[in-house]
Amino acid sequence: MAYAVKITEQPGPYRHLENRSAQELLTFINEQDRKVAPAVGECIPALTELVEGIVARMERGGRLFYIGAGTSGRLGVLDASECPPTYGVPPGMVIGVIAGGDRALRDSVESAEDSDNQAWADLAAYAPNADDTLVGIAASGTTPYVIGGLRRAREAGLLTGCVTCNPGAPVTEVCDHPIVAVVGPEVVTGSTRMKSGTAQKLILNMITTTVMIRLGRVKDNRMVDMKLSNAKLIDRGTKMIVESTGMPYEEARQRLLEAGSVRDVLDRS
């Protein structure tokens, strides 16, 4: 498919939205959302190659970086920030970098995405090396911030990948592993925080979850290295121990609080 047709900018199938009822609008959005999971499923072969590359590098001490602007950048920061509490990994193992810096997480800094040199400058603070991986997130696939960052990272020997929703987009030409989820036009034309954003969120979840499982951060289907940061998680961890060992709840809870992690209790039981 020629890139001359940017799918994410094409008009959606529903017109005169301002004249529609709330129920109609919600139905339209839901009808389109149903297309996301199958489109992401088509990406699994390409995702498999990317994940295997990330795992190999992380086993050597490498890190995973995300870069993006706007919604794409926020999704990368979100995914990265959830890895330490969920899997007990250091905060510097998965890092999300957004165009415009942390202020852009809450406020629009849209012009920040127009520099093709800024992403690599932002990453320089982390001293990226050839054991690291950089994944650029750009629904349109044309964001200069992402394209420039990936190009420089590839030149520096990092493993590179991208997540986009436009086949043949420029971002796919500057990375080793392009992930392209073709979800089609949005209900509100060009509003890629919708289906495109949902697809990106699913893909990032898939990447880090699979990487962490392959790195041994999950036992059975349990996040045994999660941080015990609140009462809910202490209760969850206690129940994991009870289910795995048959230990009484109060004893399991006490051992968990003493050991500090579900894994430690299970390894000693």
- 121 CB neighbour count, 10 Å cutoff: 12
Q: Which residue has the tokens 């999300």?
A: 96
- Type of residue numbered 156: A
Task: Check 42, 113, 173, 243 and give the catalytic one.
Answer: 113
Active-site annotation holds for 113: yes
Q: Which residue has the tokens 């990032």?
A: 204
Which tokens is 121 given?
């400058």
Assign 83 to helix, strand or coil.
helix
Helix 195-214 vs helix 70-87: angle between axes, to the nearest 10 degrees? 30
Task: Check 24, 82, 243, 258 and give the catalytic one.
Answer: 82
Alpha carbon distances (Å) from 80 to 19, 43, 128, 209: 40, 21, 16, 11
Residues acting as catalytic residues: 82, 113
